[in-house]
Amino acid sequence: MIILVTGGTGTLGRRVVDALEQAGADVRSLSRGQRAPLQDHIGIEADLLSKEEIAKALDGVTTVIHCAHDSSTPENSIAGTSNLIEACKTAGVGHFVYIGIAGIETSADFPYYAVKLEEERRIAASGLPYSILRTAQFHTLVHAVLNRLNTAPMLMYVPRGVVLRPVDIRTVAARLADLALGPPRGRCRDLVGPEERPLESLARQWLRARGQWKIVFAFPSRAPGFKAFATLTRGDADKAGPDFALWLAENVQRPRRRR
């Protein structure tokens, strides 16, 4: 069994590669090598927009975990996924595993989510045996969003009405690795973190962990991204830790006090 992880240098993909290596699987990691160098012994440099490069990368591969995504160019993401699906059919790949986002049907007009839903639709219609796992937002994304909002000196403005169920990326990676090592399951139960939290509550905890003392002020936002975020907690799902507190403890350092 040879498992190819597309986007194997990405935030999620490299954790999936790690999880599979720890499980003793024969794994390959595919990307263009633009955002991070490919892992020496298992890296395959290929662009999903090149049918020839994908065909070569699939030589001997039995299972694909598709984590590659191009958020800056949605049409490239869909084209890359379609190329990959067609190449997997030709190569006789026996299991196509895909990572989706939980709850996005309610915001299907938001361009990023429209891409994700269209990719799921194409996989399900492809005839390939597949597993689709939809998960909530990773702690790393919550951190990135809060970083972007943390611009004012004494206050932190946070959009009102955004409630998330953030999940640990290692938990997601481990679930994807498990799925890839088992039989195709079609659409799986969604996977979310252990807590349902308004963004302002996450922001307060995040600021405390960084040793920043600011007032968090929730404001009504019309930004499409935040509007799309607001309805993601609908739907039943498997809940799994660790929680945001542990992620902060492991990843955020308080500045040292000057004596």
Ligand X SMILES: NC(=O)c1ccc[n+]([C@@H]2O[C@H](COP(=O)([O-])OP(=O)(O)OC[C@H]3O[C@@H](n4cnc5c(N)ncnc54)[C@H](OP(=O)(O)O)[C@@H]3O)[C@@H](O)[C@H]2O)c1
Q: Is 78 in the site for ligand X (CB under 6 A)?
A: no
Q: Is 10 in the site for ligand X (CB under 6 A)?
A: yes
- Would you say 214 or 235 has its CB closer to ligand X? 235
CB of 174: closest distance to ligand X in angstroms?
A: 14
- Would you say 114 or 217 has its CB closer to ligand X? 114
Interface residue with ligand X, options 69, 143, 165, 197 (CB under 6 A): 69
- Would you say 39 or 216 has its CB closer to ligand X? 39
CB of 29: closest distance to ligand X in angstroms?
A: 8
Q: Is 208 in the site for ligand X (CB under 6 A)?
A: no
CB of 119: closest distance to ligand X in angstroms?
A: 8
**Looking only at residues 135 through 194 of this chain, which bind ligand X when binding is defined by CB under 6 A?**
135, 137-138, 141
CA angle at 125 for the pair 102 and 51, rounded to the nearest 5°: 100
CA-nearest of 194, 205, 146 to 167 is 194
CB of 48: closest distance to ligand X in angstroms?
A: 4
- Would you say 10 or 216 has its CB closer to ligand X? 10
> Torsions phi, psi of 217, nearest 5?
-120, 115
CB of 31: closest distance to ligand X in angstroms?
A: 4
Both structure tokens of 69 = 């995504």
Q: Is 48 in the site for ligand X (CB under 6 A)?
A: yes
Segment interacting with ligand X (CB under 6 A) among 47-55, 146-154, 173-181, 215-223 = 47-55
Q: Is 103 in the site for ligand X (CB under 6 A)?
A: no
**Looking only at residues 27 through 46 of this chain, which bind ligand X when binding is defined by CB under 6 A?**
31-35
Q: Is 11 in the site for ligand X (CB under 6 A)?
A: yes
Cβ-based neighbour number of residue 73 at 10 Å: 12
CA-nearest of 66, 48, 75 to 5 is 66
Q: Is 12 in the site for ligand X (CB under 6 A)?
A: yes
Segment interacting with ligand X (CB under 6 A) among 57-65, 132-140, 230-238, 241-249 = 132-140
Catalog residues that contact ligand X under the rule CB under 6 A: 6-7, 9-13, 31-35, 47-49, 67-70, 80, 99, 101, 116, 135, 137-138, 141
